Amino acid sequence: MISLQDLHFSYGKSRPVLEGVNLECHPGRICGLLGKNGAGKSSLLYNICGLTFPQSGRVSVLGYEPRRREPAFLSDVFLLPESFALPAIDLAAYVRSYAPFYPRFDKEAFGRYLGLLEIEVPGKLTSLSHGQQKKVLIAFALSTNAKLLLMDEPTNGLDIPSKRQFRKVIAGSLREDQCMLISTHQVRDLDSLIDEVIVLEDHRILLHESVSRITEKLSFRQVMNLDDTDAPIYSEGALKGYAVVAENRHDEQSRLDMEMFFNAVMVEKEKVLSLFTA
């Protein structure tokens, strides 16, 4: 569905934003794109949907070259940007204006998603708060039934209940022929949601692994004392002792803690990566 080979990208003559990026994403998967602010996550999404063009490398998305921006390609890709400005029109006018670009747009599903996200639009879209506007766009994105959904920091601006609603709606909406690539630096917001983790660092993809393989290689747990665990790779103080990331040497069953995993990769890069390259 997404195939990037040796992608290089920069803005003009500035330092490279992406260098030698290789990435494969497949249908039926929710992929979490993690990285610090400024790591190049947005630039990667924009190259995938054809809003920016690589200096070199090959980009194939849904069998198309995104930079050509063909109508058949655009009708099957939806980008939810981090920054946006909705027009000063009501919801019905918005649907009339934008839904025709997506042949499989489901108006009934749109209403259902708005209900699940607890959104009512009595007047113009611009009368809504930023968080409410973002939830309208999330509902619209899901209703397009586009095969590829790209979401750039979708939980920015959402309050805690709205983030919970977001995770619930996303988890129940993915189809087998659909792929979601969700970028965030608020890694905890993607807990229990994603199938694959992609970490972007130093202009390139540092790690791309399934959640199942991560928990096969690493265990995530809390201990009262660091002596209670075998040589933790990474640890943080917690309310009851320590939160620990350790090598999974005894086939332990643990739940991926996205924030702990991301921090472990950032702080103990070589130790973590060696487990997945051996």
| H-only helix segments in 71-227 | 71-74, 91-98, 107-116, 130-143, 160-171, 211-217
pLDDT tens column, 209-236: 999 999 999 999 888 887 766 778 999 8
pLDDT tens column, 92-135: 999 999 999 999 999 999 999 999 999 999 899 999 999 999 99
Return the percent helix, strand and coil in the chain, to nearest 5. Answer: 35, 30, 35
Round the average pLDDT of the chain to a whole number and report it.
Answer: 92
Sorted by sequence, the CB contacts under 8 Å of residue 128 that are 6+ apart come out as 86, 119, 121, 136
Classify domain 2-202 at the CATH class level.
alpha beta
pLDDT tens column, 78-91: 999 999 999 999 99
Per-residue pLDDT at 242 exceeds 90? no
Per-residue pLDDT at 187 exceeds 90? no
Closest CA to 146 of 95, 80, 53, 87: 80
Taking CA atoms, 143 is separated from 12, 112, 122, in Å, by 36, 9, 20
Per-residue pLDDT at 278 exceeds 70? no
pLDDT of residue 13: 75
Q: Indicate the length of the chain as a whole number.
A: 278
Reported confidence tier of residue 251, pLDDT bands at 50, 70, 90: confident
Instruction: State the Cα–Cα distance between residues 199 and 273, nearest whole angstrom.
Output: 11
Determine the average pLDDT of the residues in 164-178: 91
Domain boundaries, the chain: 2-202, 212-277
Q: What is the pTM of this model?
A: 0.93
